[in-house]
Chains A and B, each alone.
Chain A
Amino acid sequence: MSAVLASQDRPQARWAGSRDALHSEWTKLRTITGPGLALIAAIALTAALGAIAANAAGCQARGCQIDPAKVSLTGIYLGQAIVAIVAVTVVGGEYSTGMIRLTLTAVPRRWQVLAAKAAVVSAATLAAGAVAVLGSLLAGRLLLYGHGFTPAHGYEPLSLGTAAVLRAAAGSVLYLVLIALLALGVTTAVRDSAVGTGLVLGLLYLFPIVSAVVPDRTLARHLEQAAPMTAGLWIQATRGLRSLPLTPWQGLGVLALWALGAMIIGAAVLRLRDA
């Protein structure tokens, strides 16, 4: 009798697996106060640092080299770190509490767990990132005009109606999502929050420092082209695109490759190693 019931349940259970995995991950993210607060902090700090940078910028005459969109979006340098924390803890937290064993018992197809986590984290980052970027651009629009970024000096007010600014804004949101995926993949591979955070931030912050110190310009340019943060943030450029080693979308593509690589390694480790 019970055997018959079980066989009837099976197809339904399989179909619901993916959706349930997604649902459980969303519940986990939603019911811990940490990630929500962190994402709110990411929004506030991103916009605040952008406003500080816009307030410190100045353009006295025509021919300034300053990119107003890039200045307004300076906060992404800090915001990405907090987005990375959220992504790191989503998987690192499970390993530190042992919850991962329960999760993998409930959803034995391990790639499904990672995919569900990736989807939930991406969606949350997408929402928070959009608010942060819009806030930064609004602060920049309000502040930069008073600091000499006027039509007389060759600057139009920041507006999403401009194709370049729209690319910078949408690209910055995508940038944050890719950073979250990179952090998720790295932490799934190393299984520890501290090591995962260190690796991700090291990967992001060290490339530009090393390429600034290396005196050989060709090597520095190659380093910049390969750097997840430097290349990825070229998406924010609205001026001087010709001087960039890659186009803005190619730059974001470099980061996407890093994120993809990290996710593949993370998935492989999750699949092959005991939890």
Chain B
Amino acid sequence: MREPFERIVAEHGDVVWRVCRGLLPEHDAEDAWSETFLAALRAWDRFEGDRVRGWLATIAHRKALDVLRASARIVIPEEGVPDSPVPPAGRDLDLWAALARLPDGQRAAVVHHHLAGLPFDEVALVTGTTSTAARKAASDGVRRLRTLLALEDA
């Protein structure tokens, strides 16, 4: 017996947003969010298993890569590019901008582990690496983020 999909959106919409926004600029993240849930919706009557969050994070990760590939864009640090006129939470904006300055592997590991709350074995599945490598990337990423955020505070 599968849950009505609306319940999945209500429960995981926030996490999927953090994954999309953690990996993409704001406007692209909105596209990736709706494409992620549309793809999940299409497959929902065939979904097996109970790791819904990891499954959604995997789809979101692929959608984010699709968006980046489609726009054939080199990821430009967002520093100094306000993407909304009045940031609702300045601290968040700093975090997103700082995340954008991490190497791809560190960025993905930090997003999936620290923002989406996936355990490292699932982070490894999503990002196509090993659990050990994911743990190291997240740890290196957090260290680097601390430096970046401290510099911005100064």
Q: Do the two chains bind?
A: no
Which residues does B use to contact A, with CB under 8 Å? none
Which residues does A use to contact B, with CB under 8 Å? none
